[in-house]
Chains A and B, each alone.
Chain A
Amino acid sequence: MSDAQALPAAAEKVARPPRRSRWREAYFGTPGNAVVTLISGAVILLLAKLAIGWLFVDAVFDGSSEDCKQSSGACWPFLAGKLRYMLFGFYPFEEQWRPLTALILFIGSCALSMVPRLWGRGLLLAWALVILPLLYVLMAGGVFGLTAVPTSKWGGLPLSFTLSFVGLAFALPLGIGLALARASELPVIRVLGTGFIEIVRGVPLISILFMAAVMLPLFMPDGVTIDKLLRAQVAIILFAAAYIAEVVRGGLQDVPKGQFEAGRSLGLHYWLVMFKIVLPQALKKVIPALVGLFIAFFQDTTLVTIIGLLDFLDTVRTALRDPEWQGIAVLEGYAFAAAVYFLFSAVMGAYSRFLERHFNTSYR
């Protein structure tokens, strides 16, 4: 018996060459591979040298815009001087602890909500009744002695997060509704759902934002004006909903039809079957894909700068146009913005891969 068990282990030992030769095989196995290693290594070293040289060696850490002009490296004083503007835009300077607190609260709550064990009704209620109202009060003020700050003064990172998070929160139920409409047995509902999804997916987001910015006021009765931020928000919700609907539809198609039929044959109503039987299975399958979509929407919120909202990318651009720094800190500003977007997107991407392993479902 011990022989039978020892045999596979021994075979594995033979099949696995020692570590050192595996290393040599991977990097210098064939002449062609050696060339690839050398070229890739050279590229990596060159990039590292450029990055370190720019970030630290040639960089200006202390000084004025004149010093930065003379130097070829990164201009840290620009980032230090403009950081608060880039993060919070035109939010009243002495009140900026509020968006900062809101930002920390938001990111902390998001980090907690990423733990699957905490998912449930309680978390949803906490968001709806505690976290979101708190965030809103912090940002908008007007109560508890906080000065009121109109949304036209909101800007920077909090605005980007507001647009993408509120967008997702409303787009998700709407998207699920659209997916159900598209899968409906009633022809009129199906055609309306399909039409909406396909039209929105067929045009660029910028055209929907234009519609919200330019066209929507024409459709409003006299005297009714809608806040610019809200209009952009509605555009993002509608846009996101169409894409979410397609992802959810994929999940719905993966649930065997027998599940639906079994539910109906038990005498359950359509909505009960959907909410208790079909959707839980379908949504579980598409959660990683939905997180992927969320990364895309987070990046897509940058488009609101084209219709004149001061999102994070826009505040960075405006900071670059400051006469004192104009033409000096272009790379610095965009690199900072890119680093912030990269950080959040990469974390979400890693989270999406974690969820995929967690649910052990493959998604399309």
Chain B
Amino acid sequence: MLFLNDARFRAAFYQFVAISAVLLAGWAMYSTASANLAKQDIATGFGFLSRQAGFEISETAIAFQSTDSVGRAILVGIANTVKVSFLAVLFGTVIGLFVGIGRLSTNPLLSRLMLAYVEVLRNVPLLLYLLLWYSLIILVFPPVKQAIQFLPGFFLSNSGLAVPAMQWQSGFYALLGAVAVGVAAAFIAHAISRRRRIASGRGGSGWAMAATLFLLPIVAVWASGQVAVTWEAPELGRFRLTGGLHIRPEFVALLFGLALNLSASVAEIVRGGIQAVNRGQWEAAMALGLSRSLALRLVVLPQALRVIVPPLTNNYLSVFKNSSLAIAIGYPDLVMVSNTVMNQTGQAIETIAIFMGVYLGLSVLISVFMNWYNARVALKER
């Protein structure tokens, strides 16, 4: 029994047992699943992706028709998920920043009001809010037949807001190129003036120069008359609005719910981050003659970001994952499109594998980006 007391042997043995248990469970699941699938006459494999979808998607971030492939339908779902998460992160962060700073206000009324805002949002499930916003939109606004036209071409009804759509006749790519050139030029100009200022201590921040360089190519392209835009106004039909740009209630409710939910968490994180910065840092910055806003921007915020960024990453990831609640109110995100595909083809395993894979992949992508940003703001120890 000597070898049983050998730590190395036992380590190898435990690991062997663990790995065989996992493999055995996997094999058992695989064999029962394939037997069950064969019995129910369900096909396996990813061949269904290239088949014709045959269903419509109410909201498409990229062009889609029911004659397109199932794979493209799933791609539309991914694009919709990314669209709503991105906008929710944007709005939620901005609102949360203000609420978080309001929480730290010396004015008791304001700080309590902001506290109530945070508590009301954090203590009620997100799904309940989504359902509430959605049903309120449906209830409050009139049906399409009696859509309110508050501006020519702008219709408000319980199927959403329809506005004239911008259509590029020509010059879209020229303008895009001009924006890219402008951004690059402004960036370089800012970097040069910054380096000069650090080296010599003279000169301003170069903001005016950068702004001019940014606007110049855009104005030039526009003035050259290359750009032509037409507006397509929505038309009120008997039952529905056709044409134009349609912002649907599902999208608005989801965006609203996600953004508000995120803003409450961001507010708490920002508050914690700013409070974590030592008071002495403020006082030292003031003693050096920095103004309050400069002290916040140059001294306090960079240190607060160190505390803020890691939990912020988790919250952005959870917005992305929470956007899957879209299925409860009918916004065609990745999960909802996958669910339709699943019901049509019966290939649950493959479909769920696809959307789990997409979520995992995008989660990893977001974490990698946020880790890179975190490394940038992290304490540089020498």
Contacts and interface: CB of A to CB of B under 8 A. Distances in A.
B125 A341 contact: yes
Nearest to A33: B107
A221 B39 CA distance: 12
Residue from the set A317, A320, A338, A349 with the largest chain B CB neighbour count within 10 Å: A338
A203 interface: yes
A185 B10 CA distance: 12
B352 interface: yes
A199 interface: yes
A319 to B, nearest CB: 13
Interface stretch (B147-155, B208-216, B221-229, B319-327): B319-327
Contact of A214 (B120, B135, B342): B342
B116 to A, nearest CB: 9
A306 interface: yes
B368 interface: no
B327 A206 contact: yes
A202 interface: yes
A203 B125 contact: no
A320 B138 CA distance: 14
A346 B123 contact: yes
Contacts of A302: 125, 127-128
Nearest to A181: B18
Interface string A291-304: 00001000110110
Nearest to B349: A215
Given A199-B360, A334-B128, A327 B139 contact: yes
A299 B125 CA distance: 5
A215 B106 CA distance: 54
A330 B359 contact: no
Interface in B327-364: 327-328, 335, 339, 342, 348-349, 352, 355-356, 359-360, 363-364
Contact of B122 (A204, A211, A345): A345
B32 A220 contact: yes
B239 interface: no
A300 B113 CA distance: 26
B107 A204 contact: no
B173 to A, nearest CB: 37
Interface residues of A, number: 53
Given A305-B328, A330-B139, A341-B125, A204 B364 contact: no
A119 interface: no
A200 B219 CA distance: 50
A341 B18 contact: no
Contacts of A152: none
Contact of A221 (B32, B119, B123): B32
A342 interface: yes
B66 interface: no
B110 interface: yes
Contacts of A346: 119, 123
Interface stretch (A36-44, A61-69, A227-235): A36-44
Contacts of A317: 131
B43 interface: no
Interface string B115-141: 000011011111110011001100100
A50 B22 CA distance: 58
B131 A204 contact: no
Contact of A341 (B123, B328, B335, B348): B123
Contact of B325 (A36, A187, A303): A303
Nearest to A337: B128
Nearest to A26: B108
Nearest to B113: A40
Interface string B1-43: 0000000000100110011001000000100110011000000
Give the dominant DSSP class at A's interface.
Answer: helix
Given A206-B324, A338-B124, A345-B122, A36 B109 contact: yes
Nearest to A299: B125
B170 interface: no
A340 to B, nearest CB: 9
Contacts of A26: 106-108
Given A334-B131, A345-B124, A215 B348 contact: yes
Contacts of B136: 330-331
A297 to B, nearest CB: 11
Interface residues of B, number: 50
A186 interface: yes
Contact of B324 (A41, A207, A219, A300): A207
Nearest to A220: B32
A325 B15 CA distance: 60
B107 A207 contact: no
B355 A207 contact: yes
Contacts of B109: 27, 36-37, 40-41, 44
A284 B327 CA distance: 39
Contact of B113 (A44, A295, A299): A44
Contact of A330 (B113, B124, B135, B360): B135
B353 to A, nearest CB: 9
A211 B324 CA distance: 14
A161 B211 CA distance: 57
A317 B139 CA distance: 15
Residue from the set B36, B119, B124 with the largest chain A CB neighbour count within 10 Å: B124
Interface string A337-363: 110011001100100000000000000
Interface in A241-259: none
Nearest to A38: B109
A349 B14 CA distance: 41
A333 B369 CA distance: 42
Given A26-B106, A341-B123, A341-B124, A206 B352 contact: no
A207 B124 contact: no
B126 A299 contact: yes
Contacts of B37: 218
27 contacts: A27-B107, A27-B109, A33-B107, A36-B107, A44-B113, A192-B18, A192-B19, A199-B360, A202-B359, A202-B364, A203-B360, A204-B359, A207-B324, A215-B348, A218-B348, A218-B349, A219-B32, A219-B36, A300-B125, A306-B328, A334-B128, A334-B135, A341-B123, A341-B128, A342-B123, A345-B123, A345-B124
Given A44-B113, A306-B328, 14 more contacts: A26-B107, A29-B106, A36-B110, A40-B110, A43-B113, A44-B109, A202-B363, A206-B324, A211-B356, A218-B36, A220-B32, A306-B325, A341-B125, A349-B122
A-B interface, 8 closest residue pairs, ranked by CB to CB distance from nearest: A345-B123, A188-B15, A299-B125, A204-B321, A40-B109, A204-B324, A202-B363, A202-B360
